[in-house]
Amino acid sequence: MLDITDPPEHPAVQTAYCLTVYNEPGRAILASLASLANAISYQQQRDPTPQEAFVTIIADGSEKISASAMQLFTAMGLLKSRQQILNSGTAYTNSSFDHRILSELARHAYSSSNTDVAPNDHWHDIYQQSLQRDHKSACEGDATQTEFRPSLSITLFIKDVNKGKLDSHAWFFGHFCNLIHPKHCFQLDAGTAPHQDALHVMHIMLEANPTLGALASRVQTLRPRNHYNLLLTWQYTDFFVQKILDWPAEVRSGYLTVIPGQFCAFRWDAITYGEANSEQHPTSALSQYFRGLGPLSPMEATMFLAEDRILGFEIISRRNSQYTIGYAIKAEATTDPCYRLSELMGQRRRWINSSFACNLHTIRNAGAYFRNCRARATRRHETIAAIPWLAITGLIQWFMPTQMCILYISLAARATPADALYSPLVLTFILTVAAQVIGFSRSQFSKLTMSRIAAFTGILQIMLFITCIIRFSIEQQTAAIALLPLSWIVFIYTSATIAPTTTSARPSKSLLYYPFLTPFFMLALTTYAICNCNDLSWGTKGLTQTTGSPSKSMTTGGTRQERLFRTRTISFWLACNIGAVGLFMYPTSPLKQAIGVTSYLLIWIYTVFKGVSGLAMAIETRTASL
């Protein structure tokens, strides 16, 4: 497929790049391709080792490609390239693609003088933000003025039918990468734009540490122009906090659970590393990863909604594997946010359910991993040490309604100590949670209706909380509760100041109210996710129905099995939370104090460990860049 004949006198290091495309507009794809070309040029200029870049664009279904995307491929000359018919689509290969075509298209499309650019064109903003890099890299020169070495090959593979992202990865890793056996493989989603120095940073880390099997980048949503748009601002700040505190905490605990499919890197040897299992059949991380294309139980199908987490776990859990998962905090990329609440709910439903299922799978298999793994003892102990952190985050996520109810009961106790359990404040909050559960569980309700329920109940909960803070701000217990978000703000601001990131990636005013809004956002999003745990759709880009590989992942029983899985999950979740709240509210309950103290301690451990981990990584990164 790819033209790798007549190798150079000094064989070049081969790197494969995969851009997955669904129904994104041509301007989104151009932003990704042009920023990728800039990053490859920047990296090639600074690396003395000859390199060949193989870019594969995989379009998931010919009937799903947008008209503007086809116009872009035509303008790039890809549809006139050498053509090959494969069993599931058509591949067009240009083994000597002129990168100046992309530069010219981007210059015209995203130029400030272009009258076709709308004032609120976020693809223009995403591409412009990708041109930024940290101060040290900027001092090394302008990478946009460099020329490619003659080593860029682009293949456009258009699948006949939409079969899902996992199937696209199967074509990339199983077919195209197998033809060239690259040293490193990079994944990129259409609409995500890596910054100029991102590839350079990731290549340095991969070369410096041969045990890195995969590398996560720092993906950030586009900085909102209007900080009063709570939907966009909360997403922007939430992405920032994830990358500056959450991921460093996982790295510090011993196991980074996520490798963002939006932009990440894999070492080819790590994902194809074989071993002999009990049946003496060779297996690898990729072979286990692609089992998601076959029949799966509902729990497994939920796990494969986070396909990157699956591949990461398989990399470290191979019997003799010495590989780890790293985090390149300086390798930044910009992606587009969700512009509607219903879309955000669909996205976070997929993220919450899949991460919870994957973490539960990791905890359940920790013992087997420790017994069967033949990696170094230190490597095994580091991974096992991450289990308590996964358990803490899972408990906080699962008992989110209980923790919020305890918070409101504690606040109500300041006003009416004798009747705190039955105060209008507590009863109103319980009614809002009940409304969320009932509304999110009604399959006949549209996504728009559910988003309105989430917005209305969330606003009501916030108003109740503000009322409590105003009335009881002088009380000692309320001050202790307020100390948590204040500590969070201190940790975030300090880490953001120390970490060597671009200015556009640092939130400002939004950090002041993010810690206070997050519990209400997460309560609504978590409730929606659990009430729709049978939904295996992608949730964004119009994919609100289960299609492609997820639908094939369900075993015989189909809809009935999905309903049974959902009923059992919701019932168990409600039983756990109602039981915990009931024990806490019952006046003579011997567990009342234990539940309250445990809830408070879990939140404090969660906050402090994330804050200290984020500070430690920020200091280490800043020190290394000096």
61 inside domain? yes
Domain match, 84 and 134 both? yes
Please answer whether residues 355 and 301 qualify as being in contact, where contact means their C-beta atoms are separated by less than 8 angstroms: no
135 inside domain? yes
Q: Can you give the pLDDT at residue 501?
A: 65
Domain match, 238 and 118 both? no
List the domain range (segments joined by +) for residue 158. 10-208
Please answer whether residues 359 and 257 qualify as being in contact, where contact means their C-beta atoms are separated by less than 8 angstroms: yes
Domain match, 181 and 151 both? yes
Domain match, 521 and 569 both? yes
Please answer whether residues 187 and 21 qualify as being in contact, where contact means their C-beta atoms are separated by less than 8 angstroms: no
Domain match, 139 and 280 both? no
428 inside domain? no
Which amino acid does the sequence have at 176?
Answer: F
What distance in Å separates the CA atoms of residue 609 and residue 248, rounded to the nearest whole number?
10
Domain match, 174 and 310 both? no
Q: Name the DSSP letter for residue 20.
A: E
CB atoms within 10 A of CB 478: 19
Domain match, 246 and 395 both? yes
What distance in Å separates the CA atoms of residue 157 and residue 21, rounded to the nearest whole number?
10
Domain match, 93 and 152 both? yes
Domain match, 139 and 163 both? yes
Cα–Cα distance list, 301 to 11, 60, 250, 344, 534 (Å): 42, 20, 24, 21, 9
275 inside domain? yes
Domain match, 200 and 229 both? no
Cα–Cα distance list, 207 to 40, 66, 210, 214, 621 (Å): 16, 38, 6, 12, 17
Q: Is 564 helix (H, G, I), strand (E, B) or coil?
A: helix
Cα–Cα distance list, 367 to 185, 303, 370, 372 (Å): 31, 20, 5, 9
Report residue 505 as tokens: 């990636």
462 inside domain? no
Give me the DSSP letters along 69-119.
Answer: HHHHHHHTTGGGSEEEEETTEEEEEETT--HHHHHHHHHHHT-TT-TTS-T
Question: Predicted confidence band at 143 (pLDDT cuts at 50, 70, 90)?
Answer: very low
Which amino acid does the sequence have at 564?
Answer: L
Q: Name the DSSP letter for residue 543.
A: -
The per-residue pLDDT for range 2-41, each reduced to its tens digit, is 343 333 344 566 899 999 999 899 999 999 999 999 999 8
Closest of 44, 156, 49 to residue 93, by C-alpha: 156
Domain match, 154 and 299 both? no
**Runs of H (alpha helix) within 8-81:** 26-46, 67-75
Statement: residue 524 has pLDDT above 70: yes
CB atoms within 10 A of CB 411: 25
The per-residue pLDDT for range 365-387, each reduced to its tens digit, is 777 766 666 666 666 667 777 88
Question: Predicted confidence band at 321 (pLDDT cuts at 50, 70, 90)?
Answer: confident
Domain match, 204 and 231 both? no
Q: Name the DSSP letter for residue 151.
A: -
How many structural domains compose the chain?
Answer: 2
Among 173, 208, 243, give the residue marking a domain's end: 208
535 inside domain? yes
**216 or 365, which is more confident:** 216
Report the range of poorest mean pLDDT among 54-58, 237-241, 443-447.
443-447
